[in-house]
Amino acid sequence: MLKNDILLRSLLREHVEYTPIWLMRQAGRYLPEYRKIRELAGSFMSLLTNPDYACEVTLQPLRRYNLDAVILFSDILTIPNAMGLGLSFTDGLGPSFSRKIRTEDDVKRLLSVPDMNSLSYVFDTINLVKNELKQQVPLIGFSGSPWTLACYMIEGQSSKDFSNIKKMLYSRPDLLHKVLEINTESIIQYLNSQIASGVDAVMLFDTWGGILTGTAFKDFSLAYNKKIFDSLNRTVGDRRIPIVSFTKGGSLWLKDIVKSGCDAIGLDWTIDMSEARHITSDAVALQGNLDPLALLGDHSLLRAEARNIIESFGFVGNGGHVFNIGHGLTPSTDPDAVAELIEEVHSYSRLFHV
């Protein structure tokens, strides 16, 4: 049994004593201990695919901070890499694929759902982390969404305008749907394998869902996310596995996301917690939503921003709020600012829990 299960209780809207907190990219380049392991590994891919290194990096933030969860150190692009698209990372440029999916022939050559054995390094990392955690806090697993994976698979890398995938969307939607169907089935198997390996909650990162129109979001992103949520093993023994759905730039579609079957919705910083809570009518938990760049400023103002978010969410009968940032921590984040944020959230939020 977990010694600290407050994150899971809050995601399932059960009673909690304070607002739990974890941070996207809490294991990353802002930590000197991470940079040492990254240098030792030699490359990001070597770090990513070595369970010993990935386990160490996953646990580093918990050794430094009083966090309520750790998130598996991995990457959203492990599935396309397992499909044979040739993932690599370049410092300063980010991820890229040696093969792109642009034509019907490309889709035909695309591997179908990859053998999960090709992703065994992820599940081995989970086993190592769970053994080292000794039930201290929950472990969060994750995947990119079908749409977000498709963005990278079709563009070949990140993009300013995503013109290639949008061209496919508006000229060959049938072809794009084939890619999304393959991605969806792959993600279902991948996340269920993570759950079987021991993760306590899962999160779907729909990082690029916000670039779509409202209609396209429902057809090309949300419909596939819903199929994933409907297909996950949400109960393992006596454990319930909460599901968090995060669409960056997705605040306009909260009413639709609520109906997708997730337990919680991750929010970026473009909407007030009070408004999001009103729209969702406490039907799901909410996660967020500090601007990550607030951690680059004055620490007293950072504490004030944290209080504003807690006050905006308001008083809590049951759980329902997990404090987080609206996207990942940046490499220039001050580690001391992270410590102050966690302390402020833990202390101030107790005033709002009855």
53 annotated binding-site participant: no
Options 38, 190, 206, 268, the catalytic residue = 38
Contacts of 171 (CB under 8 A, 6+ apart): none
Contacts of 140 (CB under 8 A, 6+ apart): 22, 69, 70, 71, 72, 199, 200, 201, 202, 203, 244
What's the CA gap between 254 and 276, in Å, rounded? 8
Q: β-strand 264-266 against 285-287: which pairing, if any?
A: parallel
148's enclosing H/E stretch is: helix 146-155
To the query of whether residue 18 is one of the catalytic residues in this protein, the response is no
Options 9, 13, 25, 303, the catalytic residue = 25
Q: What is the C-alpha radius of gyration for the chain, rounded to an integer number of angstroms?
A: 19
What's the CA gap between 89 and 67, in Å, rounded? 29
Options 9, 18, 53, 75, the catalytic residue = 75
To the query of whether residue 38 is one of the catalytic residues in this protein, the response is yes
Residue with tokens 């580093």: 60
DSSP E strand stretches across the chain:
70-71, 87-90, 94-97, 139-144, 201-206, 235-236, 239-240, 243-247, 264-266, 285-287, 321-322
28 annotated binding-site participant: yes
109 annotated binding-site participant: no
DSSP E strand stretches across 128-224:
139-144, 201-206
To the query of whether residue 34 is one of the catalytic residues in this protein, the response is no
299 annotated binding-site participant: no
To the query of whether residue 25 is one of the catalytic residues in this protein, the response is yes
Options 18, 30, 34, 152, the catalytic residue = 152
26 annotated binding-site participant: yes
β-strand partners of 79: none
DSSP states of 99-147: S---SHHHHHHS-SSPPGGGGHHHHHHHHHHHHHHTTSS-EEEEEE-HH
196 annotated binding-site participant: no
The token pair at 37 is 């392991």
Options 29, 102, 172, 307, the catalytic residue = 29
To the query of whether residue 75 is one of the catalytic residues in this protein, the response is yes
75 annotated binding-site participant: yes
Q: Which residues are annotated as a binding site for substrate?
A: 25-29, 75, 152, 207, 327
Catalytic residues: 25, 29, 38, 75, 152
Q: Which residues are annotated as a binding site?
A: 25-29, 75, 152, 207, 327
